[in-house]
């Protein structure tokens, strides 16, 4: 038995060393690629937290809509009120998807067809699917849904096949009349998971935690222009440049994008402002980093967090990660990155990695964390479609927004922490380090202990399992090199 354990320990060490070496190669590859495209400064330290190459728009109103119960009806209502046009870009859209669960709620096809029948221009731009049917949505499924949306309606739906090999069009946005825009992580499909859920996360086969931003003000024109440029190239239809809305609030907002190089003529060298914004914000962190994400695989992101944990900027510096128990591939949760971060924390309890579940006291089911949110020091927030992996930061089309509206950032964090901790916001309105140390960690640890003993869980929060570096350290950068040309 001891020999077997020693052998596995040896394999772990080999995996770790090889993984570390391959990760250095991957990061060097990313650096060469960005420098060759004129984006090399993204990886250089320094710069303001809220800046970079994405324009900053003044005078906006931003609302963060939490979970499908809040976001999907808001989108449906905006579509019903459309007077000129509805523009949708998404990973995939199912014609039979219903944006609300109210009795008699229309399907997506019915909602869009009724809107188009009123003389409103409805345009839908979705990914065409992978060239080979290796994963969902296949090209056959994408074409089938396209037909369902368009046949017998005035809806226009175009499939975009300009993806990089093994990558996709992943952004999720809606623009209505160039007056309101939605940018977030919610897809209009039940493919791979039911997007309808509430902050209560009642027991169901699998819950779904997600976020969408609703935007009013000048930044809406940036979202509309992004859609216009993609649509013009893919559909071959010229659309007028959007008018810039009047100021609608006091928030400064950036539209952030990942547009891979050699994909569109409108930006042949690509755009990597999501990576730029994350790195700027995380480097500037002094007291708190709070991330909700489907994946934590990016070595560039991990390296910044490692540096912060090894040399904390403040004794009360904390990093809280909310991740799914397993990402969509069902394999190692973080490709070894979480193990590295825990090693760097070295038992100082500055880092907490947790996940959430739905339970009724007798049984528990996972809640899939599909949100893509970053908060730094209650002074910077981003939300959108981008995961923290090489797909979203380098190779898929993605759209996020970022703001430095401190009141909004703090209010959003408190709402989310209230949801996850099951406590009123007023109880959490104190130093984040105290909340992490006195609520997040004890609750998550207690539930992990109960789970380990085979006892029923009593709270939705639990420490993230599967933090071993084994297999993940080699697997992550190897896959990154294979898929990132």
Strand partners, 258: 272, 398
Q: Over the stretch 262-285, which tens digit does the pLDDT of each residue have?
A: 999 999 999 999 999 999 999 999
Q: What is the DSSP string of 445-477?
A: HHHHHHHHTTPPP-SSEEE------TTHHHHHH
Instruction: Tell me which fold the domain 27-54+255-483 belongs to.
Output: Endonuclease; Chain A (3.30.870)
> Strand pairing partners for 60?
251
Mean pLDDT across 88-114:
97
**Phi-psi region at 67: left, alpha or beta (left = phi > 0; alpha = psi -120 to 50):** left
Instruction: Report the alpha-carbon distance of residue 399 to residue 388 in Å, rounded.
Output: 13
Residue 134 binned pLDDT confidence (cut-offs 50, 70, 90): confident
User: Do the Cβ atoms of 11 and 466 come closer than 8 Å?
Assistant: no
Q: Give yes or no for residue 363 having a pLDDT over 90.
A: no
pTM of the shown model? 0.95
Q: 484 pLDDT exceeds 90?
A: no
Please report which confidence band the pLDDT of residue 467 belongs to, taking 50, 70 and 90 as the band edges: low
Exposure pattern of 383-416 as b/e (b: 16+ CB <10 Å)? bbbbbbbbbbbbbbbbbbbbbbbeebbbbbbbeb
34-38 contacts, C-beta under 8 A, 24 or more apart: 34/272, 37/261, 37/269, 37/270, 38/269
What ranges do the domains of the chain cover?
27-54+255-483, 59-250
* Residue labelled with tokens 């990016």: 298
| pLDDT (0 to 100) of residue 9 | 59
> Is 80 exceeded by the pLDDT of residue 353?
yes
CA distances from 48 to 139, 285, 305, 323 (A): 42, 12, 18, 28
Percent with pLDDT over 90 in the chain: 77
**Phi-psi group of 377: left, alpha or beta (phi > 0 → left; psi -120 to 50 → alpha; rest → beta):** left
Q: What is the pLDDT of residues 143-176, one digit of tens each?
A: 999 999 999 999 999 999 998 888 899 999 999 9
SS3 57: strand
Say which CATH superfamily domain 59-250 falls into: Endonuclease Chain A (3.30.870.10)
What local confidence, expressed as pLDDT, does residue 364 receive?
Answer: 77
Q: What is the mean pLDDT of residues 119-128?
A: 98
Nearest 5 degrees, angle CA 380-CA 403-CA 227? Answer: 135
Instruction: Give the pLDDT confidence score for residue 477 in this predicted structure.
Output: 61
Q: Which pLDDT score, from 0 to 100, does residue 112 have?
A: 98
Q: Using the predicted structure, report yes or no on whether residue 85 has a pLDDT greater than 60.
A: yes
Q: What is the pLDDT of residues 369-409, one digit of tens each?
A: 999 999 999 999 999 999 999 999 999 999 999 999 999 99
């Amino acid at each position: 038995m001891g020999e077997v354990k020693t052998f596995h320990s040896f394999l772990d060490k080999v995996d770790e060393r090889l993984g570390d070496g391959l990760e250095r190669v991957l990061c060097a590859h990313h650096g060469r690629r960005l420098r060759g495209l004129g984006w090399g400064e993204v990886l250089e330290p320094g710069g303001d937290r809220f800046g970079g190459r994405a324009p900053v728009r003044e005078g906006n109103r931003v609302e963060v809509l939490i979970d499908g119960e809040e976001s999907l009806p808001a989108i449906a209502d905006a579509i019903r009120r459309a007077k000129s046009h509805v523009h949708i870009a998404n990973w995939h859209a199912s014609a039979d998807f219903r944006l609300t669960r109210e009795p008699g709620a229309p399907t997506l096809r019915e909602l869009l067809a009724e809107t188009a029948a009123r003389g409103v221009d409805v345009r839908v731009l979705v990914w065409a699917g992978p060239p080979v049917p290796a994963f969902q949505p296949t090209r056959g499924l994408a074409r089938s849904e396209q037909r369902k949306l368009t046949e017998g309606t005035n809806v226009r739906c175009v499939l975009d096949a300009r993806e990089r090999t093994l990558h996709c069009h992943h952004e999720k946005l809606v623009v209505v009349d160039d007056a309101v825009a939605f940018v977030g992580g919610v897809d209009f499909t039940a493919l791979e998971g039911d997007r309808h859920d509430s902050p209560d996360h009642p027991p169901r086969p699998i819950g779904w935690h997600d976020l969408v931003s609703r935007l009013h003000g000048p930044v809406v024109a940036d979202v509309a222009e992004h859609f216009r440029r993609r649509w013009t190239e893919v559909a071959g239809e010229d659309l007028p440049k959007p008018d810039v809305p009047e100021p609608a609030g006091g928030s400064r907002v950036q539209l952030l994008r990942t547009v891979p190089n050699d994909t569109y003529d409108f930006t042949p060298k690509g755009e990597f402002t999501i990576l730029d914004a994350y790195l700027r914000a995380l480097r500037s962190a002094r007291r708190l980093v709070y991330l909700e994400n489907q994946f934590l695989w990016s070595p560039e992101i991990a390296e910044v967090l490692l540096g912060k944990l090894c040399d904390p900027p403040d004794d009360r510096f904390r990093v809280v990660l909310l991740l799914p128990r397993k990402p969509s591939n069902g394999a190692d949760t973080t490709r070894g990155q979480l193990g590295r971060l825990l090693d760097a924390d070295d038992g100082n309890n500055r880092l907490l990695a947790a996940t959430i579940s739905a339970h009724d006291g007798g049984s528990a089911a996972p809640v899939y964390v599909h949100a893509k949110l970053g908060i730094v020091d209650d002074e910077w927030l981003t939300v959108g479609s981008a995961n923290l992996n090489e797909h979203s930061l380098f190779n898929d089309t993605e759209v996020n927004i970022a703001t430095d509206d401190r009141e909004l950032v703090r209010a959003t964090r408190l709402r989310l922490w209230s949801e996850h901790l099951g406590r009123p916001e007023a109880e959490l309105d104190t130093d984040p380090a105290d909340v992490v140390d006195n609520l997040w960690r004890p609750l998550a640890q207690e539930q992990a202990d109960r789970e380990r003993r085979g006892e029923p869980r009593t709270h939705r929060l639990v420490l993230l399992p599967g933090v071993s570096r084994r297999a993940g350290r080699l697997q992550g950068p190897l896959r990154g090199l294979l898929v990132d040309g």
